[in-house]
Amino acid sequence: MVVTRFAPSPTGFLHIGGLRTALFNYLWARRNGGEFKLRIEDTDQSRNSAEATKAILEAFDWVGLYYDGEPVYQSDRFDLYKSYILKLLDEGKAYYCYMSKEELDKLREEQMAKKERPRYDGRYRDFTGTPPKGVEPVVRIKAPLEGEIVFEDGIKGTITIKADEVDDFIIARSDGTPTYNFVVAIDDALMGMTDVIRGDDHLYNTPKQIIVYEALGFELPRFYHVPMILGEGGKKLSKRDGAADVMDYKRAGYLPEALLNFLVRLGWSHGDQEIFSMEEMLEHFDPTDINASASQYNPDKLLWLNAHYIKNSSNERLAKLLEDFGLYLLSHDKREILLDIFKERCKTLAEMAEQIKEVIETPESYDEKALKKAMKGNAAEILRAFVQKIEDAAGELHLPTDYHALMENFVKEKEIGFGKIGMPLRVALIGRLGGPDLSDVMSIVGKQETVARIEKLLNTIKESSAS
C-alpha cells in the first residue's frame, strides 16, 4: 500500500509551493488506494504559531485534500525521539560531543582559511576520556567514513553522495531537543511512509536521513524531489509573483478546483491536456512523470482556468460563494439572469461580485472621464427623450429582448447612432463606460429603476452646472 504525507512547519502560512507538494502526495496515495497523512513539524517551539497551524488546516479543508486520521504533531513525540537517541548511544552508533561553540567556530575559520569545506572533524567520535566541565554536550550520529551514499530519486534519477561530504551531524541539541533530519526519518519510518514526495530543497537532507534509517534498521521509502516553482524572469517565487497564503487565493475569488488544476500542471503533464478534474488527476498522475526542471508560475493561466471553472459552476453554487464577497443573491428574483451573464464575463468571484453590485446597486458616483465623454452635446436631451420612450412603451418591459427592441426603435425614430444613447445610458445605469449589455442591465433592474437612475444622472448634471 502506498502511504504518503505532507509535513509543513507551522511557522507561517501555507503557500502554493507547499500546496502543490501536498497535492502530489495526495494524488499518488489516492490513485493507489493508499493513505495520505498530515504531520505538523512543530519541534521548533520558538518559531511555531498556533495561528499558522490553523491556517494550514483551513487551507486543506478549502481545497478538499482530506488526509487520513488525525494530524500528527511532532511536539507530542519528544519522548519517542529521546528513546531512539538513547538506543543509538547504547549501540555505539551515536556519541556525546563536548565541543564548545568557540572551538567549532575556530575549526571552521581554519578550514575556510585552507579553502576546505567547513565540517565537524569527528574529534569526540571515539572519545573515552573525562568530559570537560561546563559543557552541555550535543549528540552526534556516526556517519560512514568511506564509500558513498546512493539512492534512487523517482524524478532526478540516481543520486550519489560521497560519504566524506556528510559529517557526524547533530541529532540532539545540548538541551536534549532532537534535530530536523533525525525526527523526520523516525516519523516517516514509524508512520509507514512508502513514498516521500517533497521539494528539491530537501535533496541534500536525504543522505542524512538515510544514515538515520540505516542506523535504526528502518526500510527506506522511495524518494521524489520536486523542482521548485519559479517566478518572473526565472527568479525564486516571491509573494508578488504568487507565493502568497493559499487562503489569499480564496479571498481573491479563485475556486479551489482551479487552483489545484493550475498547480498539478506546474511540473507535471499528461499529453497536451490543460484542464483536469480531480478524477482525471487521480487517473493519470504519476510522480515519475514530474519534470526534472523547475516550472514557471503563470498568473494569466491561473485566471484562464478560474474563468473556465466559474463558467461551468452551477448558479446556486456561485450564489453561495459570492456571499463571501458581500453579495447575497439566493433570493434575488433576477439571480439566474445575473449569474448567467456574469459568469461568462468574469475571471474571479471578486470581479463577479463587483460587477454584479454595479448593476443591482444604484451608482453613488460617476466616473469623471466617462461622464465627460458620454454627456457631450445633446446627450441630456436624448436621455430625457429615452425616459419618455420607456414610460410610453406599450406593453410590459421584462426581458432583455423587450429593452433591445425599445432601443432599436428609439435610435431609428431619432435618427441617431446607437452610441448617442448607449454611452450616456451606460453611465446613468452603472456609473461608467463598459460593462454588460444595456438590455440585460435594464431587464435586471426593471423599468422604474432604469428611469430613476437616468433621472438621478440628469439631476446630478443639472446641479453641477448650476453651481
Task: Point out the residues that are catalytic.
Answer: 239
**What DSSP element (H or E) covers 141?**
strand 138-141
Q: What is the DSSP string of 32-57?
A: TT-EEEEEE----TTT--HHHHHHHH
CB 126 within 8 A of CB 96: no
Strands 170-172, 138-141: parallel, antiparallel or unpaired by DSSP?
Answer: antiparallel
Q: Measured between alpha carbons, how far is 446 from 234 in angstroms, rounded to an integer?
A: 52
- The cell for 271 is 499529453
What is the Cβ-side half-sphere exposure of residue 208, based on CA atoms within 13 angstroms?
A: 19
Q: Which residues of 305-321 are buried (b: 16+ CB within 10 A; e: fewer)?
A: bbbbbbeebebeebbeb
239 labeled binding residue: yes
Three-class secondary structure of residue 213 per DSSP: helix
- The cell for 264 is 498539478
Which neighbouring-strand residues pair with 151?
159
Picking from 381, 386, 399, 380, the residue whose alpha carbon sits closest to that of residue 437 is 399
Q: Measured between alpha carbons, how far is 116 from 128 in angstroms, rounded to an integer?
A: 28
CB 67 within 8 A of CB 25: no
- The cell for 185 is 526519518
Identify residue 372 by its one-letter amino acid code: K
Task: Quickly count: other Cβ atoms within 10 Å of residue 394's Cβ.
Answer: 5
Left (φ > 0), alpha (ψ -120 to 50) or beta: where does 296 sit? Answer: beta
Picking from 305, 225, 223, 226, the residue whose alpha carbon sits closest to that of residue 267 is 226
Question: Residues within the annotated binding site for ATP?
Answer: 239
Which residue ranges are tagged as binding site?
A: 239
